[in-house]
Amino acid sequence: MFLIGRVATDDSTPVPIDAVVERICNNKVHEHVYASSHGDFSLQLGSRADSFLDASDESSSQSSANSKDSTLGIPRRDLTNCELQATAAGFYSDLISLAAFDTFSSRVDVGVIVVQRISKIKGNTVNAAAYMAPKDARRAYEKGLEAERKSNLAAARKYFETAVAIYPKYVGAWYQLGTVLQKDHQNDAARKAFTEATTMDTRFLPPYLSLASLAYEDEKWTEVLALTDHILDRDPLNHAEVTGYIVDLDPANCSEAYFYNAAANYNLHKFDDAEKSGLKAEHLDMITHFPQLHFLLGEIFARKNDYAGAISELQTYLDLAPHAVNADLVREQLAKLHKLNGSQSASEKPDPQ
């Protein structure tokens, strides 16, 4: 039995080049297949297809399906509690329930699976050159994504290297290659791959964020500041914000960028800018990606003699990272801040009449 259909974006932009269609039953993936560049897919039940599906594949799949005895059908339990979805980086998918579909046909048209951007990051789309990549380059790229998804970093690296060797302008492949290298702790090589991506498309933001994370690890604060200023669309001279940009940024990526920006400003002794970026990162960090953000804000508030604010932030830091290497030092600092806050509160009480 084949499930056929099409993946489409809600805003009519091109289908993500890494879109994978999955049949999920009781929270377990049973089959998956890549959609074509036009969004078409044909998913064979009982298979673990992981190859790219183009027009020629579609015709061969149709031929295979037609040769199957359509009177056999499949057990209805194979579609009960099952849903179809598409997965792609930066997108979330509608779910199509399969329970109501006819199980006595060799081909079932499930219609259109609509995917929507998780966020509208300014410039966070691969440039048009990615869609002009030769078929062999795209196959290698997709194989790399699959290998990376399975945590096979060596294979993923090989596929991404093949993709950029075939098509050197493949921005997304350069970025994914850098990601795999960074996961494999090959930071110098990762930096080269990310930089290669930025030279091809300055509007594609993910490699800038990855470079900022590497620069943060190396404590290259001027570099971190320049990279995050680019991400946050700021004027590098006066940090003036461009009106309206905040609504176009992904909360998770934006939070990380603001955190790195705050850390860079703090270490460059630009404390007001550090506080501003730190508070924005805290506001956007809905799932507490960065415990160290609260430590940084605690340091900033303590410097401003806002002892109550510093106590709150440092306590949050310990709640999120109770076994941090500096946890004992933070507890000592908290004890001092409580004393200072008590003295400050007492001095602010009005004299009794």
Cβ 257 vs Cβ 232: under 8 Å: yes
**First-residue to last-residue Cα distance in the chain:** 88
- What whole-number distance in Å separates Cα of residue 175 and Cα of residue 213? 14
Domain co-membership, 111 together with 144: no
**Over the stretch 66-98, which tens digit does the pLDDT of each residue have?**
433 333 445 556 677 788 888 876 677 888 888
Per cent of the chain over pLDDT 90 is 40
Same domain, yes or no: 46 and 140: no
281-324 pLDDT per residue, tens: 887 765 456 789 999 999 999 999 999 999 999 999 998 888 98
- Average pLDDT score over the chain: 78
**In DSSP terms, which residues pair with 83 in a beta bridge?**
24, 97
Higher pLDDT, 66 or 109: 109
When mean pLDDT is compared across 4-8, 14-18, 106-110, 294-298, the lowest value belongs to 14-18
Helix (H) or strand (E) holding 174: helix 171-183
Statement: residue 56 has pLDDT above 80: no
Considering 204, 221, 242, which residue would you say is the last residue of a domain? 204
Give the model's pLDDT for residue 286.
53
- Token pair 């805003």: residue: 11
| Residue 87 within a domain | yes
Residue 332 lies inside a defined structural domain of this protein: no
Between residues 164 and 18, which one has the greater pLDDT?
164
Residue after which a domain boundary falls, among 175, 204, 233: 204
Output the pLDDT for position 252: 52
User: Are 68 and 101 in the same domain?
Assistant: yes
Q: Quick check: 33 and 43 in contact, CB under 8 A? A: yes
Q: What is the pLDDT of residue 55?
A: 35
| Alpha carbon 300 to its chain's center | 29
Q: Verify that 74 and 130 share a domain, yes or no.
A: no
pLDDT at 60: 38
Residue 57 counted as domain residue: yes
Q: What is the pLDDT of residue 242?
A: 33
- Does this model's pTM top 0.75? no
293: left (phi over 0), alpha (psi -120 to 50) or beta: alpha
Helix (H) or strand (E) run with residue 44 in it:
strand 40-44
> How far is the C-alpha of 51 from the C-alpha of 73, rounded, in Å?
25
Residues 45 and 112 in one domain: yes
- The closest of 330, 332, 278, 280 to 304, measured between CA atoms, is 278
- The 3-state secondary structure of 47-66, one letter per residue: CCCCCCCCHHHHHHHHHHHH
Question: Which of 276-287 are b and which e, b meaning 16 or more Cβ less than 10 Å from the residue's Cβ?
Answer: bbbebbbebbee
Under the banding of pLDDT at 50, 70 and 90, the label for residue 206 is confident
What is residue 334's predicted lDDT score, i.e. its pLDDT?
94
Which pLDDT value is given to residue 333? 94
Asked if 269 and 261 touch (Cβ cutoff 8 Å), the reply is no
Please state the domain count of the chain: 2
What is the domain range of residue 191? 120-204
Same domain, 133 and 180: yes
Averaged pLDDT, 250-263: 79
- Look at residues 117, 152, 169 and tell me which one is the last residue of a structural domain: 117
Tell me, yes or no, whether 99 and 125 share the same domain: no
CATH of the domain at 137: 1.25.40.10
What does the block give as tokens for 319?
């709640």
Residues 103 and 144 in one domain: no
Paired with 96 in beta bridges are 84
Compute the distance between CA of residue 96 and CA of residue 114 in angstroms, rounded to an integer.
10
Residue 136 within a domain = yes
pLDDT digits (tens, 9 = 90+) for 148-195: 888 899 999 999 999 999 999 998 899 999 999 999 999 999 999 999
- Mean per-residue pLDDT for 221-248? 61
Which string of DSSP letters, residue by residue, matches 225-246? HHHHHHHTTB-TTT-PBPTTGG
**In angstroms, rounded to a whole number, what is the distance separating the alpha carbons of residues 117 and 125?**
10
Q: Indicate whether 50 and 109 sit together in one domain.
A: yes
Q: Is the pLDDT of residue 248 over 60?
A: no
218, two tokens: 């190396």
Amino acid at 47: S
pLDDT in the model for residue 69: 39
